[in-house]
Amino acid sequence: MRSDSLIFGVAVGLALVSLAACAPLPEQKAQVFKPKAAPSPVPAVPDAAAPPVATGFWAELDNHALQAPKSVERDADQLLAYLIKPAKTDEQKARVIYRWLTSRFTYDVASFQARNYKRQTLDQLLVSRRGVCDGYAVAFQELGKKAGLTVKLIEGRAKGGSNGEQFTADQANHAWNMVLINGQWKIVDATWGAGHVDDKNGYQAKLDDFYFMTPVENLLLSHYDFSDPLGVFSARQIGLKEFESFPFSGTRAVAVGFDVNRVLNHYRQTLLQPVVDTFNQPYGSFQVAQAPVAKQLKAGQPYEFQLKTDSFGQLIAFQSQSQNNSTEFVRKGGYYVATIRPAPGDLMVMGSTGNAGEYEALLKYEVR
């Protein structure tokens, strides 16, 4: 049963779709601070040369995808032949498709707000380069199939932005993909991986690799798959009603390293009390190995922190209302560690940006 008047179900070599909406990734802002009496940050190392277009683990493949010539981009076969030329594995094929798609497509905010979700074919998408989540998912699936990948298009419920629509129990509001890599199904959500929708400025492109090759269970707090082919929801007895009660912040906690089952158990045991605040740091810039998952901490109680990062040269815990208001983390075995007995007020874990006295927020707690 559908409640919306703009329902599409056009067959394009795919399963029939009945999306009622398409939830874009909600905005989450980064925060920069200059705390008083904080330790001097480690000086930044000057760049020897201008950085390449892409850096990190996928740099070579990403640069190849980003440099795709315009002459091949409107023909699916020519584009695919170019993209997968350096790819030696299925995962690498998926990566070049994902990176090209997230760099070339723009989320169609106008269609989302107008509730116009008409499906486009791959050929149409290569011309328009614009779509809601279904467009990203169709493009990834069709290009993936051409590359020999086993790909599914998933329709379900997601925790993204809303245009005011209300949904019945059988209605989907988002589309994403699952791809089989080395015998394991992983999630690829190119819509959320490409950027977010800002209420003030509209669509903002920003790559987020958390949504590339994500284990299915890591998105069980934000992506509800009605079919549940791997049983991740049934194994945890999560129904749609409970799923819809989960705050989106739980998924962001998982993105920085908190175990998804730990977050789920926290919500269930505390009747949905909030988890630690996280901020819009690039995926992989830091990972939590150990830290409290609850947002609210008890004053004077010891808490163990263990974080891993190659992006920040120094970590501190800062307490604005404490006389000894900062604690510097110690480097041990590749991790930054600290034991903190917080005072009442806010507790912030921050990383040095390399600029004098400037830190970026990583985690935030409330201490009572």
Tell me which residue of 265, 44, 330, 25 sits closest to 160, measured CA to CA: 25
Please provide the distance, in angstroms rounded to a whole number, between the alpha carbons at the two ends of the chain.
48
The β-bridge partners of 366 are 296, 346
Predicted pLDDT at 279: 92
CA distance 94 to 76: 15
Predicted pLDDT at 28: 63
Q: Is 21 among the domain residues?
A: no
Highest mean predicted confidence (pLDDT) among 21-25, 37-41, 139-143: 139-143
Tell me which residue of 367, 366, 331, 332 sits closest to 352, measured CA to CA: 331
Residue ranges of alpha helices (H) inside 109-232 are 109-114, 122-128, 133-146, 190-194
CA distance 162 to 22: 8
Residues 6+ apart with CB under 8 A from 11: none
> What are 105-127's pLDDT values in tens digits?
999 998 888 888 889 999 999 99
The β-bridge partners of 213 are none
Highest mean predicted confidence (pLDDT) among 12-26, 96-110, 153-167: 96-110
> What are 69-84's pLDDT values in tens digits?
999 999 999 999 999 9
Which of the two residues, 276 and 13, has the higher pLDDT score? Answer: 276
Q: Is 131 among the domain residues?
A: yes
Interaxial angle between packed helices 90-104 and 59-66, expressed in degrees from 0 to 180 and rounded to the nearest 10: 50
pLDDT at 280 over 90: no
- Whether 352 contacts 41, CB under 8 Å: yes
Q: Is 315 among the domain residues?
A: yes
Predicted pLDDT at 163: 61
pLDDT at 324 over 90: no
> What are 203-258's pLDDT values in tens digits?
899 999 999 999 999 999 999 999 999 999 999 999 999 999 999 999 999 999 99
Predicted pLDDT at 112: 87
pLDDT band at 35 (very low <50, low <70, confident <90, very high): low
CA distances from 334 to 45, 266, 288, 308 (A): 20, 28, 12, 7
CA distance 337 to 315: 9
Name the domain count of the chain.
1
Q: Is 6 among the domain residues?
A: no
Predicted pLDDT at 320: 76
Residue ranges of alpha helices (H) inside 73-222 are 76-83, 90-104, 109-114, 122-128, 133-146, 190-194
Question: Which long-range contacts (C-beta less than 8 Å, at least 24 apart) are formed by 152-155?
Answer: 152/177, 152/178, 152/179, 153/14, 153/15, 153/17, 153/177, 154/178, 154/187, 154/223, 154/225, 154/227, 155/17, 155/18, 155/19, 155/226
CA distance 312 to 258: 19
Which of the two residues, 1 and 287, has the higher pLDDT score? Answer: 287
CA distances from 189 to 3, 223, 261 (A): 26, 10, 21
pLDDT at 98 over 80: yes
pTM score of the predicted model = 0.86
CA distance 132 to 114: 11
Which of the two residues, 356 and 141, has the higher pLDDT score? Answer: 141
Q: Is 5 among the domain residues?
A: no
Q: Is 27 among the domain residues?
A: no
CA distance 169 to 264: 22
> What are 41-74's pLDDT values in tens digits?
333 333 334 444 677 889 999 999 999 999 999 9
Q: Is 324 among the domain residues?
A: yes
Count of helix runs (H) and strand runs (E) in the chain: 10, 20
pLDDT at 160 over 80: no
CA distance 99 to 123: 18
Token pair recorded at residue 179: 């791809």
Residue in the structure block whose two tokens are 């920085």? 256
Average pLDDT, whole number, for the chain? 86
pLDDT at 145 over 80: yes
Predicted pLDDT at 322: 65
Q: Where in the sequence is the domain holding 219, given as residue range(s)? A: 32-367
Which percentage of the chain shows pLDDT scores above 90?
A: 71
What average pLDDT does the segment 176-180 reach? Answer: 98
Token pair recorded at residue 72: 């091949």
Tell me which residue of 202, 190, 360, 178 sits closest to 281, measured CA to CA: 360
CA distance 350 to 327: 10
pLDDT at 199 over 80: no
For residue 253, the surrounding DSSP H or E stretch is helix 249-255
CA distance 65 to 77: 15
Q: Is 78 among the domain residues?
A: yes
- Of 45-49, 62-66, 98-102, 259-263, the range with the lowest mean pLDDT is 45-49
- Of 44-48, 157-161, 314-318, the range with the lowest mean pLDDT is 44-48
Predicted pLDDT at 24: 76
Q: Rounded to the nearest 5°, which phi and psi values hold at 252?
A: -65, -30
Predicted pLDDT at 33: 59
